[in-house]
Amino acid sequence: MTGRIIFRGLTSTSAVNISSRRLMASIKIPKISELPSLGHPLENAKRAAAYRAVDENLDVYQHRVVGIGSGSTVIYVAERIGQYLRDDEYRDYVSKFKCVATGYQSKQLIMDNGLTYAILEQYPHIDIAFDGADEIDCNLDLIKGGGGCLFQEKLVSTSAKIFVVVADTSKKSPRRLGSHWVQGVPVEVVPAAYTRVQDDLLNLLGAKTATLRQGGKVKMGPVVTDNNNFILDTYFGDIDDPKKLHDRIKALVGVVETGLFINNAAKAYLGSPDGEVLITTRESPAKPQVEEIEN
Ligand SMILES: O=C(CO)[C@H](O)[C@H](O)COP(=O)(O)O
């Protein structure tokens, strides 16, 4: 599937330039079908999803600002874009990309792959963003934030014209959202407000648990996000109406953002260990840049 780069908008002159570049190309992008196994089924699945998502959605010739998300699957997105950068055929285009990060991890991924790091303040209109997810339902609504980056992830994904999710098939929700990611919906809160929000989640919104995320062995005490906030992992069981729940949580004083990503993703690529990728596309990809307000 390598090279399924979209040629939309090419003039005949640029097509000629590209074909002469192709003749000179020395470092080619590895074909997905010829990739060696990574030695671990889950990693093969993540790589298959990420590489296909990049190959089929990144328009090297038209896109300029690219959002790079967080997590272990998106590592392969950055890696694939880095491969395009090293291919003589695409280098001139990809070297002009501005890559916006969703946190420190993705900033490092961008730099490690030789891509140009940019900030959203300078590039608020993102052409395409790629990110992972913790649970994906049949409407392409998501739970995200398992890696603690939900606020910046939402900032980037809702600033993108196209938001593509990459994951392995285990992330598919078996029923409703909340049935797979039983750690709970991550809620980013201002530290001074965390006990108040915890109380509201449990007593006003009916959460079964609302646990302050801890750093564990690697960091004593609560996890502090890239925005210096805390996270409450809030379990509701199966979620009947994710949009309504998101709105209600968001209305609590002290809440910065929730890990419910509603009406945001345009496509999801879910990889299997054998290299198969399940692709789901939202039927009406209309994605609000501003959250809808219910009357
Ligand atoms: O939301 C996220 C981080 O906050 C990640 O995208 C999500 O946790 C998926 O990660 P992975 O690809 O490692 O499964």
pLDDT, mean of residues 170-189: 96
Per-residue pLDDT at 127 exceeds 70: yes
Question: Domain 185-258 classified CATH 3.30.70.260?
Answer: yes
Query: What would the two tokens of residue 35 be?
Result: 């990739």
* Protein residue closest via CA to atom 7 of ligand 1: 133
Distance CA 280, CA 268 (A): 5
What is the per-residue pLDDT for 15? 37
Q: Is the CB of 132 under 6 A from ligand 1?
A: yes
Distance CA 226, CA 104 (A): 7
Percent of the chain's residues with pLDDT above 70: 87
Question: How far, rounded to the nearest angstrom, does the alpha carbon of residue 165 sit from its chain's CA centroid?
Answer: 5
- Give the model's confidence band at 27: pLDDT under 50 very low, under 70 low, under 90 confident, else very high: confident
Considering only the top CATH level, what class is 12-174+262-281? alpha beta
What is the per-residue pLDDT for 287? 52
pLDDT, mean of residues 201-212: 98
pLDDT, mean of residues 141-166: 98
Please pick, among 43, 89, 135, 153, the residue that the annotation labels catalytic: 153
Per-residue pLDDT at 19 exceeds 50: no
**Looking at ligand 1, which atom is closest to the CA of residue 186?**
4
Give the chain's mean pLDDT: 90
Q: Is the CB of 271 under 6 A from ligand 1?
A: no
Q: Is the CB of 148 under 6 A from ligand 1?
A: yes
Per-residue pLDDT at 7 exceeds 80: no
What is the per-residue pLDDT for 24? 45
Instruction: For 74-120, write each residue's pLDDT tens digit.
Output: 999 999 999 999 999 999 999 999 999 999 999 999 999 999 999 99
Please give the distance, rounded to the nearest whole angstrom, from the Cα atom of residue 167 to the centre of ligand 1. 8
- Give the model's confidence band at 16: pLDDT under 50 very low, under 70 low, under 90 confident, else very high: very low
Is 153 an active-site residue?
A: yes
**Looking at ligand 1, which atom is closest to the CA of residue 74?**
12
**Looking at ligand 1, which atom is closest to the CA of residue 131?**
6
Give the residue, out of 43, 44, 144, 233, with the most ligand 1 atoms within 8 A of its beta carbon, to mutate for a pocket test. 144
pTM, two decimal places: 0.89
pLDDT, mean of residues 219-231: 96
Per-residue pLDDT at 6 exceeds 60: no
pLDDT, mean of residues 186-193: 98
pLDDT, mean of residues 186-211: 98
Per-residue pLDDT at 20 exceeds 80: no
Per-residue pLDDT at 9 exceeds 90: no
Query: What would the two tokens of residue 250 be?
Result: 């968001």
Three-state DSSP state, 117: strand
The full set of domain ranges for the chain reads 12-174+262-281, 185-258
Strands 185-189 and 209-212, by their bridges, are unpaired
Q: Is the Cβ–Cβ distance between 223 and 213 less than 8 Å?
A: yes
Per-residue pLDDT at 182 exceeds 80: yes
Percent of the chain's residues with pLDDT above 90: 84
**Looking at ligand 1, which atom is closest to the CA of residue 46?**
12
Give every CB contact of residue 167 below 8 A, 6+ residues apart in sequence.
46, 49, 73, 132, 133, 136, 268, 269, 270, 271
- Give the model's confidence band at 283: pLDDT under 50 very low, under 70 low, under 90 confident, else very high: confident
What is the per-residue pLDDT for 290? 46
Instruction: For 35-63, write each residue's pLDDT tens digit.
Output: 999 999 999 999 999 999 999 999 999 99
